[in-house]
């Protein structure tokens, strides 16, 4: 039987081998969308960069936004999204936040490091941080 002193020594040794917990400030930092109204259209300048950061296909995010706004739009070769119609940056950001909560953020650990997969018409998010798998509604 181990004495209290031996137990504490072993416990201290164990704690020294465990890596320190990385503290997260709740929400991971994403680049701000650069939204401009030019004429009768709205342009998101860093759209492809933003979609890349959240690990989603820009066409998927574009499809979601255009469907929610019920307007046509195009994705240019330089990564800008042009939406026909004038929309406030707060309206666009609200829709993007809704997309992130529904199709990017892990429901278990709230991490944004996830991948979206489709198998036999079933869409699911797989978290790269905790490994959780959550089904989501198809777009």
Q: How confident is the model at residue 23 (pLDDT cuts 50, 70, 90)?
A: very low
Tokens (6 digits) for 120? 């036999």
Measuring CA to CA, which residue among 96, 129, 136 is closest to residue 111? Answer: 129
Read off the pLDDT of residues 65-79 as tens digits, 9 standing for 90 and up: 999 999 999 999 999
| Average pLDDT, integer, range 1-18 | 82
pLDDT of 123: 92
Burial of 108 (0-12, 13-18, 19+ CB in 10 A): middle
**pTM for this entry:** 0.76
45: pLDDT strictly greater than 90? yes
CATH of domain 30-104: 3.30.30.170
Neighbours of 61 (CB within 10 A): 25
Where do the domains of the chain lie?
A: 30-104, 106-139
């Amino acid at each position: 039987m181990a004495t209290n002193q031996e137990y504490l020594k072993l416990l201290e040794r164990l704690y020294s081998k465990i890596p320190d917990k990385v503290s997260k400030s709740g929400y991971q930092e994403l680049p701000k969308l650069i939204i401009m109204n030019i004429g009768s259209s709205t342009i998101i300048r860093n759209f492809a960069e933003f979609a890349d950061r959240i690990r989603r296909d820009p066409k998927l995010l574009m499809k979601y936004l255009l469907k929610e706004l019920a307007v046509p739009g195009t994705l240019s070769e330089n990564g800008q999204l042009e939406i026909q119609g004038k929309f406030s940056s707060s309206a666009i950001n609200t829709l993007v936040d809704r997309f992130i909560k529904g199709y990017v953020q892990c429901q278990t650990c709230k991490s944004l490091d996830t991948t979206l997969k489709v198998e036999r018409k079933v869409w699911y998010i797989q978290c790269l941080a905790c490994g959780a798998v959550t089904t989501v509604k198809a777009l």
